């Protein structure tokens, strides 16, 4: 049984802030970055920066430059150099290959449209924690020959985790420690089965967020993952991947989200006011910290 236990008090802690350069940073990013910094200082630990630029279609150099400028303006200092996911594609490929060799992952030739059509035919089709329809396992039972023929013909494919086999390959229950924003902790039982046959290798990028993030935390020696509550459900899937790949399990601290005036989550896709805009309007690092304290009170 893989059981979560509190980390030793004298162990060196490592925290990380891991934004994606696919837009400008907003108040939610600032809150998470500053919380990582504060905790690193309180524990006398390390503060790491990771640039999650694995998506070549959305990641842009100008957004990365603006992001680094905003973080410097906030007064953040981290260990150099930052880790860029685009420079470590071989790490993710090796992890995916390891899962395929154990028959824990399989190629999926379905497009999003294919999946949507298949699920729409069944009213009330179950959904994963992100709200997407669970994959109907269309390609799970394809024969090896059928898969090889499609790949040889140039068919594009992603990689999916065979959840049933993956769960059978681990010793239940899988647990992790959750601290949220305080010092008190609780043991959480992971529920990766809620994700179904999750996407772990995408068609357009070498790996999914789940594989890249989980492997990076291990390779960077991250002991404390501090991130928004919107990613808390994904921790169950990450915990399973850690068990399958023999990776260390960090402590988790999922913090509250900074919300907009309508009570929705701030996001780049919804054009949340950026730190860049706030700076142009005369915001200072001190006034921004005061603003965040009021928002999160």
Same domain, 153 and 77: no
Same domain, 62 and 94: no
Q: Which structure tokens are listed for 249?
A: 């399990």
Same domain, 68 and 124: no
Same domain, 180 and 268: no
Which pLDDT tens digit goes with each residue over 128-146?
999 999 999 999 999 999 9
Residue carrying the six token digits 């970055």: 33
pLDDT of residue 1: 40
Angstrom CA distances, 283 to 33, 52, 118, 275, stand at 17, 27, 49, 9
Same domain, 242 and 285: no
Contact 190/239 with Cβ under 8 angstroms? yes
Q: Which structure tokens are listed for 78?
A: 């981290």
Cα separation, 103 vs 76, in Å, equals: 43
Same domain, 73 and 112: no
- Domain, as residue range, for 165: 90-218+237-247
Helix (H, G, I), strand (E, B) or coil at 117: helix
Asked if the structure places residue 73 within a domain, the reply is yes
pLDDT of residue 268: 54
Which pLDDT tens digit goes with each residue over 193-218?
999 999 999 887 779 999 999 999 99
State how many domains the chain has.
2
Same domain, 243 and 114: yes
- Residue ranges in the chain modelled with pLDDT below 70: 1-10, 260-271, 297
Same domain, 98 and 212: yes
- What DSSP assignment string belongs to 22-67? SS--BHHHHHHHHHHHHHHHHHT-EEEEEE----TTT--HHHHHHH
Cα separation, 29 vs 33, in Å, equals: 6
Q: Is the dihedral of CA 128, 132, 133, 136 positive or negative?
A: negative
């Amino acid at each position: 049984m893989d059981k979560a236990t509190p980390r030793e008090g004298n162990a060196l802690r490592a925290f990380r802030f891991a934004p994606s350069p696919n837009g400008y940073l907003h108040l939610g990013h600032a809150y998470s970055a500053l919380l990582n910094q504060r905790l690193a200082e309180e524990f006398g630990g390390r503060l790491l920066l990771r640039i999650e630029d694995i998506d070549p279609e959305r990641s842009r150099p100008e957004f990365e430059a603006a992001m680094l400028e905003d973080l410097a303006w906030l007064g953040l200092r981290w260990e150099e150099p930052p880790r860029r996911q685009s420079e470590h594609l071989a790490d993710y490929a090796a992890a995916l290959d390891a899962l395929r060799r154990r028959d824990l992952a399989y190629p999926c030739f379905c497009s999003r449209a294919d999946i949507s059509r298949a699920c729409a035919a069944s009213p009330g089709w179950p959904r994963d924690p992100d709200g997407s329809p669970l994959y109907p396992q269309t390609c799970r039972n394809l024969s090896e020959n059928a898969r090889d023929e499609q790949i040889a013909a140039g068919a594009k494919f992603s990689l999916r985790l065979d959840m049933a086999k993956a769960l059978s390959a681990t010793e239940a229950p899988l647990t992790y420690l959750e601290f949220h924003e305080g010092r008190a902790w609780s043991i959480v039982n992971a529920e990766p089965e809620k994700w179904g046959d999750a996407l772990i290798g995408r068609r357009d990028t070498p790996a999914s967020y789940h594989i890249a993030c989980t492997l990076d935390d291990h390779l960077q020696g991250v002991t404390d993952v501090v991130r928004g509550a919107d990613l808390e459900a994904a921790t169950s899937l990450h915990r399973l991947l850690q068990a399958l790949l023999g990776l260390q399990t960090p402590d988790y601290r999922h913090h509250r989200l900074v919300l907009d005036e309508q009570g929705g989550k701030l996001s780049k896709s919804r054009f949340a006011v950026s730190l860049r805009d706030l700076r142009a309007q005369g915001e200072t690092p001190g006034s921004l910290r005061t603003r965040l304290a009021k928002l999160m009170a």
